[in-house]
Each structure stands twice: as structure tokens, then as C-alpha cells.
Homo-oligomer: A and B are copies of this chain.
Amino acid sequence: MPRQVDYDSRRRRIVAAAFALVSEQGLEGMTMRDVATRAGVSVGAVQRCFSSKEEMMAAVVEDMNERVSTRARDRIADSADPDSAATMLKHTLAGIMPHDEPTLAETRAWLAFAAHSAVTPAVAVVQRKHYEGLAELIALLLRTAQASGDVRSDADADGEADTLIALADGLSMQILTGRLTTDSALATLDRQLTALRAAQ
């Protein structure tokens, strides 16, 4: 096996192990040693891939964001009307929220990183960039839906994008506490999107 392939597959295994640990136990007490044990590699191998815990965590966050995006794209492609901005909007937002055990695990890890970023400015920067990109995407989809007459023309696209993202995050937290089911949270999100819809 060429060295690069070996390195990449080991890196992926370490990211997967770190993700599993964070989603099960939170960030508290997660050490490079725990991650190495879970990944079945030496601590030295972890250190060759990631110079710090922060760098490793950034890779986990990146991997999670990628999975969320891929899932949204897949859902859009599988939908009845994949080219409609309203469809993209709905699936992008619903895709943030957990709906089964793997996505619940992702959401637990996401919340752990969010809490960590609140006390670690370097991590907050990564998170802020992610949200800026997401807000731009949602605002763009809202404007596209306004242009095609699907969304009310008087809605403030940037403001509504902030609302929808905050709502999806807050609902995800409620699903994690077990107070809302995924279905009731999705119904709440749908009500918000319906209120944005232009009168037909």
C-alpha cells in the first residue's frame, strides 16, 4: 500500500474514533490516548496525523459538516422536485436535524463542539465561518424562491435565514433532550416555512 493511502486511511480511522468518543461521552476527558485506543493505533500515529487535539477536533467538525451537506444533496436529488429552491431549502434545514441514531450521534457531537467553541475562540472562528456559509446558502435559496414566486416577496431573506438556522439548531437541542420528537420538530420547521410561502 502506498504511504499516502496508508496515511489517509489512518487519518480517517482516527477522525471516526474521535467522533464516536465525542458523540458518546462529550469532549470531557477525551484524550489523544483514548482516541488512539479506539482507533487501534498508537498515540504516536495520532500525533503524526494531528499536531494537537484542536486540530483533530477541527477535522471531526469538517467531516461532520461534509456528511450533513452530502445528506442534504442526496435528499434533494431524491425528491420529487429537485430543482425547486423551496425543496432545497426544506431539505437543507431538515438535514441539520437528527432523525435516527447516526444523526443523533452527530448532533450530540455538534453540541459538544458548539459548547467547546463558546470557550475557545480558535474553534469559534471555524464555527462562525460554517454558519456564515450556511446563512448565505439559505438566504440565496430564499431569494431564488422569491424570484420564482414560491416565497413571499416582502420577506427579508437574510433575516429569515438567521431565523431558520437558529430554529433548526434550537429544535435539534430539544430533540436531544427528548422533549420533542423528530416528527414534531420537523412539523415546527414546516410551519415556519409555510408562513414564508407566497399566497398561491
Contact = CB atoms under 8 A, between A and B. Distances in A.
Interface of A: 23-29, 107-108, 111-112, 114-120, 124, 127-128, 131-132, 135, 156, 159, 162-163, 165-171, 173-174, 176-180, 184-185, 187-188, 191-192, 195
B173 A116 contact: no
Given A118-B177, A131-B179, 17 more contacts: A25-B119, A26-B116, A26-B120, A27-B28, A107-B118, A108-B115, A112-B115, A115-B115, A118-B176, A124-B177, A128-B177, A131-B174, A132-B179, A159-B187, A163-B192, A166-B169, A166-B171
A135 to B, nearest CB: 8
Nearest to A112: B115
Contact of A24 (B26, B27, B119, B131): B119
20 contacts: A24-B119, A25-B119, A26-B115, A28-B29, A29-B29, A111-B111, A111-B115, A115-B116, A118-B177, A124-B176, A124-B177, A162-B174, A162-B184, A162-B188, A165-B174, A166-B170, A166-B173, A167-B170, A168-B170, A195-B195
Contacts of A124: 176-178
Contacts of A28: 26-29, 116
A83 to B, nearest CB: 29
A129 to B, nearest CB: 9
A18 to B, nearest CB: 14
A35 to B, nearest CB: 14
B169 A173 contact: yes
Contacts of A128: 177-179
A124 B111 CA distance: 13
A164 to B, nearest CB: 9
A173 to B, nearest CB: 6
Contacts of A170: 165-171, 173
Contact of A188 (B116, B166, B179, B192): B166
